[in-house]
Amino acid sequence: MKRVRCPKCDNYITFDETQYTSGQQLVFVCPQCQKQFGIRIGVSKLRDKHEERNLDEKENQEGCGSIVVVENVFHYKQVIPLKMGDNVIGRYVRGTDINTPIETSDPSIDTKHCIIRVQRNKHGELQYILRDAPSNTGTFYMNDILRDQDRVRLEEGSIVTIGATTLILRTADSEEKE
């Protein structure tokens, strides 16, 4: 199942993408605001923005890992690349200025929820450090809630929960092995 967002009211509409071919154009009418809009199967503007941003940033060309986002309610999966420095993670809302947006309708995820900092240690190895933004509902690392001052070093496969959504860290080393 795929979800599309109404460009007027940000309401999600779910449909079965297996019934359509890549490149096919579909027209939807939002049941909430009656806005009519079209999409092309296989194309995501937000993913295109991620790809453009990654091509522009030299640090990302070497690979800094990614987070696998699994929305527990809808089993909707996204893979979002990480960059060097602070990756501010939160719910995508038009007009917010975060560099790692998650496409979700989960209201328990803040627009600025947590931060994963990617940096190199003194040996030149990548480190991943998690902290709460701070958020209203909290950031959980391996089922333990982080306080505002807590900093946690993440390893390959670390599980972070924000709202009803699970983030799984994939380090750059593990992505190279695949």
CB neighbour list of residue 58: distance below 8 Å, 6 or more residues apart: none
Q: Report yes or no on 90 lying in a domain.
A: yes
Q: Are residues 15 and 103 in the same domain?
A: no
Q: Are residues 141 and 171 in the same domain?
A: yes
Distance CA 72, CA 89 (A): 17
- Please, which pLDDT band fits residue 55 given cuts at 50, 70 and 90? very low
- Residue range 114-143: average pLDDT? 94
| CB environment 134-152: b (16+ within 10 A), e (fewer) | ebebbbbbeeeebeeeeeb
Domain region containing 27? 2-40
Phi, psi of 27 (to 5 degrees): -120, 130
Q: Are residues 91 and 15 in the same domain?
A: no
Q: Report yes or no on 96 lying in a domain.
A: yes
Q: Are residues 56 and 11 in the same domain?
A: no
Q: Are residues 77 and 163 in the same domain?
A: yes
Q: Report yes or no on 45 lying in a domain.
A: no
Distance CA 174, CA 178 (A): 7
Q: What CATH number should be reported for the domain holding residue 115?
A: 2.60.200.20
Number of independent structural domains in the chain: 2
Q: Are 57 and 36 within 8 A, CB to CB?
A: no
Q: Are residues 100 and 171 in the same domain?
A: yes
pTM: 0.67
pLDDT of 56: 42
| E strands, 1-155, in order | 2-5, 12-15, 25-29, 36-40, 66-71, 76-81, 85-91, 100-102, 114-120, 126-132, 139-141, 144-145, 152-154
Q: Are residues 58 and 20 in the same domain?
A: no
pLDDT of 177: 59
Q: Are residues 9 and 79 in the same domain?
A: no
Q: Report yes or no on 167 lying in a domain.
A: yes
